[in-house]
Structure 1
Amino acid sequence: MVKLIGAALIIFAGTMIGWLQAARYAARPNQIRQLIHALQRLETEIGYGFTPLPEAIARCAAHVPEPAASLLRDVNGRLGGAGEPSFRESWEAAVAAIWPNTAMRQPEQAALVRLGHNLGISDREDQLKHLKLAAQQLAFEEEAARQDSARYAKMWRSLGVLTAALIVILIL
């Protein structure tokens, strides 16, 4: 009886590990899409609303879903903090702070960090160009993430169950 309960727990744990890994693959394209949407909103605020960058970030943070909202709120909070950090420093620190809580990978992080290097230091037109470029880079990464999700999500679900079943067979 104890072996049967142990086997069931091992299979359950292996299955959950596989499903969690598959969920990360499925969440990545959605999170990239949300970042693209946030950048487009920011572009609209800056380009058509003539809104200053800190105010535009605050407005966008209120209208986009997580994790993009967390990134924008964190940037805005750091800009108003003590020591008067530059926009670049605030952006990089915010990206580094929220990144472990996302399903995104290094290429998306690199695109956002590059964007942070260019925002806030040039005129409105140049900022709009950099926002569009970052959105295009993220769109390319989104397509790659969708392909990875289609390729690997089902594999991880199956691998979790099959690995747990192998462990149970070896133990019994």
Structure 2
Amino acid sequence: MIKIIGALLVLFAGTMIGFYQAGQFAARPRQIRQLAHGLQRLETEISYGFTPLPEALVRSAGASAEPIAGLLHRAAGQLGERPDDPFRESWELAVTEHWPYTAMRDNERNILIRLGSVLGISDREDQIKHLRLALLQLKSEEDAAREDQAKYEKMSKSLGLLSAALIVILMM
């Protein structure tokens, strides 16, 4: 009886691990799209609203979903806490602190860090150019993430279940 309960628990755990990994593959393109939307909102605030960067970040965060909203709020908060530090440092710190809460990978993080190194130090037109470049790069990453999702989402679910089944067979 205990072996059966143990086997069921192992099967359940393996299946949940597979579903979690599949969920990560599904969440990545969605979060990249949300990030692109947040950056488009930031571009709009900078170009048409002539909004200062901290306020533009807060407004963009308000129009974004989590975890992107948290990232933008954190960047704005860092600017408020450390007004003498350059924006680049506040942005990098916010990205680094908030990155574990996302399903995105290092490519997207590098795009954001490069973007943060030019925001706030140049004129409005230059910032808009850099935001548009980041949006183009994120679009290509989103396409790659969709391909990964199509390839690996179903496989992750199956692999989790089959790995757990193998462990159960070896235990018996």
Q: Please give the range of the TM-score, normalised by the shorter of the 2 chains.
A: over 0.9
Q: How does 1:22-171 map to 2 (within 5 A)?
A: 22-82=22-82, 84-171=84-171
| Kept after mapping to 2: 8 A contact 1:78/1:85 | no
Residue 68 of structure 1 and its aligned partner are, at CA, apart by 1.1
Residue 7 of structure 1 and its aligned partner are, at CA, apart by 0.6
| Offset from partner CA, 1:66-98 (integer Å, 9 cap, x none) | 111111100110001146221000000000001
Identity of aligned residues (%): 63
Residue 116 of structure 1 and its aligned partner are, at CA, apart by 0.2
> Does the residue aligned with 2:81 lie in a helix, a strand or coil?
coil
> Using the alignment, how far apart are the partners of 1:130 and 1:68 within structure 2?
19
| Kept after mapping to 2: 8 A contact 1:58/1:72 | yes
> Using the alignment, how far apart are the partners of 2:82 and 2:128 within structure 1?
28
> Using the alignment, how far apart are the partners of 2:37 and 2:30 within structure 1?
11
Query: Moved runs in structure 1, 4+ residues, more than 6 A?
Result: none
Amino acid at match of 1:13: A
Unpaired segments of 5 or more residues in structure 2? none
* TM-score between the two structures when normalised by the length of structure 1: 0.98
Partner of 1:12 in structure 2? 12
> Does the residue aligned with 1:22 lie in a helix, a strand or coil?
helix
| Kept after mapping to 2: 8 A contact 1:38/1:68 | yes
Partner of 2:2 in structure 1? 2
* TM-score between the two structures when normalised by the length of structure 2: 0.98
Query: What is the alpha-carbon root mean square deviation over aligned residues?
Result: 0.8
> Using the alignment, how far apart are the partners of 1:49 and 1:82 within structure 2?
24
Amino acid at match of 1:12: F
Residue 138 of structure 1 and its aligned partner are, at CA, apart by 0.5
- Equivalent pairs, count: 172
